[in-house]
Amino acid sequence: MHELSLARDLLVAIERKLDRADARVVRVSVSVGSAAGIASESLRFAFRIICEGTRAAGATLSVTTIAARGRCADCGIVFEFDGLIGRCPGCGRLGGELLSGDRMILRTIEVADV
């Protein structure tokens, strides 16, 4: 349940970006690599709980999953993972050296100034 720690970190990052004292967060968009080991549903749930009583209370968290990409150790083909690992479309080998898709990126924060 590391999503609880991540939700807390996300809230801290959001609060740092709020430029006005009266800004209330309505919606937050993040993208998560499929190899980041982050469960979207757990993150949304944890985020809702963590935000209670803050300026982001009730805000919607939109999570877009980005397919991770990796390189086959045998034939060198770069391909998209299906989740945490992938299968090389060239030789069928399972695994792949991860090239991207292990991060969470805070994209946008939609705020209402009240």
Partner 1 sequence: MCDTCGCDAPAVRTIEVNERLLASSAAHAEHNRAHLSGRAILAVNLMGTPGAGKTALLEAMIAKWRGSRRILVIEGDQATERDSARIRAAGATARQVETGLGCHLDARQIHDALHHLDLRAGDLLFIENVGNLVCPALFDLGERLRVVVTSPTEGADKPLKYPPMFRAAQLVVLNKCDLIPHVPFNLEQWTEYVRAINPHARIINTSALCAEGVEELLDAIDDVRRSFCAGISA
Residues near partner 1 (CB under 8 A): 1-2, 5-6, 8-10, 12-13, 17-19, 24, 26-27, 30, 35-37, 73, 84-85, 93-98, 102-114
DSSP annotation of 54 reads S
Q: Which is nearer to partner 1, 48 or 104 (CB)?
A: 104
Residue 53 CB, nearest approach to partner 1 (Å): 19
Instruction: Tokens 């770069």: give the residue.
Output: 78
Are 62 and 14 in contact by the 8 Å Cβ rule? The answer is no
In whole angstroms, how close is the CB of 52 to partner 1 at the nearest point?
19
The helix/strand/coil state of 51 is: helix
Which strand (E) or helix (H) includes residue 60?
A: strand 60-66
Q: How far apart are CB 16 and partner 1 at their closest, in Å?
A: 10
Shortest distance in whole angstroms from residue 14 CB to partner 1: 8
For partner 1, which is the closer residue by CB, 48 or 63?
63
**Which residues, at least 6 apart from 41, have a Cβ–Cβ distance to it below 8 Å?**
none
DSSP 31-43: EEETTS---HHHH
